[in-house]
Amino acid sequence: MTYQQAMLYLQASYKPDTKKGLSQMAAALQIMGNPQQRLKIIHVAGTNGKGSVCAMLAAILSEAGYNVGKFTSPHLHVVNERIAINNSIISNEDFARYMSKIADVSEKMFGTADTFSFFEILTLMAFDYFAEQGVDFVLLEVGIGGRLDATNVIKSPLLAVIMSIGLDHMEILGNTVEEIAKEKAGIIKQNCPVVLYPNTNVVYNIIADIATEKNAKIFSASDVDLQILNFSEKGTSFIAFHEYFGKINIELNLPGFYQQQNAACAIAACVALNKTGIKITAENICRGLAQVNWGGRMEIAAKNPTIVLEGAHNLQGAHAAAKNMVTLFDGKEITLLAGILQSKQYTEILHTMSKHAKNIVLTKPKYDFKAIPPAELAAALTGRENVHVIEDCVAALKKAKEIAGTTGVIFCAGSLYLVGDIRAVLIENEDDNND
């Protein structure tokens, strides 16, 4: 199987996300020799912050001298980004080779090569690849939910991390944060330590009760005291204090007020890992966090005008984006460049993100059939002035730049797929300018 054939096979596997059991994943992994059982896995769930904390922990563990696999989603440019070791993504050749193995497994199980879903295929590939590469640890990000997510086929993770909980994927996970919290808490295993983000008391207590039932020791990010020294579009300087490590001076290159809390979760995870005998020092944390980059999350992608890329694909993310807009760019004219995928809350998401923007350009990702038509988004903004509807996202970026001039701010948000498209255009333009 070539890389092109592998991509066609993967694309043909796309199925709508549904709640289903894990028996199919377990059976496939049995045929593959249960590679997941040879891995030391840190399992990460949550509505927001999963990818950021995975990037942080991967950087810290790498700084401590370990080889670290990282499985995240979605990708921004190429699907290979989802499977990486020490920030080197899986090669096209390996991608095709492992895809061929998964197709063979499907043939053995069902007599056809096209039974697994898109996310199941990538999860199987990640387990097999990381096991054969002999990584020391794997940062395994949940796709949707937790309890019935394909990644939750693992039986004995080293650590579970549950990040910020909000309303997202409600058609699958439930209509309240309490229901969603229970689904996310499904990754907690018997006697497995768990790191908890400082969610609301109700959500925190639901997850904590489940952890207690499973004798899972809780390490709370709330035990990390944060003292912010400087906060700007370039990043954040702060002092983090935990009784295990003492004071750590952190220079974080990730803008966004929420990243300090994500860093607190990473530090709490390092405490938990040390308690299991994995040596991580305060210096490893300091040096690791200083090196973290996580594209498409409050990423300053260009200047003159300033272009900010921020996924903000759910209501919780939209509130965070709005806060970052008003905090980091107070006094600047903001143009919102937005596209949103199908969501029960798209009106609230759009209104929340647009309240600090003078101008709004509505568009959609290039290839995502789940995108809400820009004209439909515009209808949700009845009464707002300076709203422009442009279907093609490249043309929409051009319009946003015309509006912003050299002194304004373009805030691209609403979908990581749109962010990926815009990011690719900016990289291409930068390469053209350097030729």
Per-residue pLDDT reduced to its tens digit, 250-293: 999 988 778 899 999 999 999 999 999 999 999 999 999 999 98
How many CA atoms lie within 13 Å of 359's alpha carbon, on the beta-carbon side? 22
Higher pLDDT, 170 or 223: 223
Q: Is residue 166 predicted with pLDDT exceeding 90?
A: no
Please report which helix (H) or strand (E) contains residue 126, including its range. helix 118-133
CA distance 11 to 14: 6
Domains and CATH numbers, the chain: 3-221 (3.40.1190.10), 299-434 (3.90.190.20)
Q: Is residue 172 predicted with pLDDT exceeding 50?
A: no
CA distance 254 to 289: 9
- Give me the sheet containing 246-252, strands edge to edge: 225-232, 235-242, 246-252
pLDDT tier at 181, thresholds 50, 70, 90: confident
Q: Is residue 167 predicted with pLDDT exceeding 60?
A: no
CA distance 210 to 354: 38
Per-residue pLDDT reduced to its tens digit, 52-68: 999 999 999 999 999 99
pLDDT value, residue 309: 95
Mean pLDDT of 78-84: 97
pLDDT value, residue 256: 79
DSSP 273-294: HHHTT----HHHHHHHHHT---
Mean pLDDT value across the chain: 90
CA 48 to each of CA 10, 242, 350, 385: distance values in angstroms, whole numbers, following the listed order: 26, 23, 18, 31
Q: Which amino acid is at 58?
A: A
CA 366 to each of CA 4, 26, 80, 394, 403: distance values in angstroms, whole numbers, following the listed order: 20, 35, 19, 9, 22
Closest CA to 263 of 243, 249, 246, 281: 249
The 10 Å CB-count burial string (b at 16+, else e) for 320-335 is: bbbebbeebbeeeebb
Q: How many residues does the chain have?
A: 435
Per-residue pLDDT reduced to its tens digit, 380-428: 998 899 999 999 999 999 999 999 999 999 999 999 999 999 999 998 8
Instruction: Tell me if the bond preceding 198 is cis, omega within 30° of 0.
Output: no
Per-residue pLDDT reduced to its tens digit, 211-253: 999 999 999 999 999 999 988 888 899 999 999 999 999 999 9
pLDDT tier at 169, thresholds 50, 70, 90: very low
pLDDT value, residue 293: 87
Higher pLDDT, 200 or 300: 300
Q: Is residue 170 predicted with pLDDT exceeding 50?
A: no
pLDDT value, residue 434: 57
Contact yes or no for 252/263 (Cβ under 8 A): yes
Per-residue pLDDT reduced to its tens digit, 185-215: 999 999 999 999 887 788 888 899 999 999 9
pTM for the full model?
0.91
Q: What's the gap between Cα 83 and its chain centre?
A: 13
Per-residue pLDDT reduced to its tens digit, 312-348: 888 888 988 899 898 899 889 999 999 998 866 889 9
Contact yes or no for 85/136 (Cβ under 8 A): no
Q: Which of 159-168, 235-244, 367-376 has the lowest mean pLDDT?
A: 159-168
CA distance 244 to 304: 44
Q: Is residue 350 predicted with pLDDT exceeding 90?
A: yes
Closest CA to 405 of 325, 303, 327, 324: 303
Q: Is residue 378 predicted with pLDDT exceeding 90?
A: yes
Q: Is residue 435 predicted with pLDDT exceeding 70?
A: no
pLDDT value, residue 171: 45
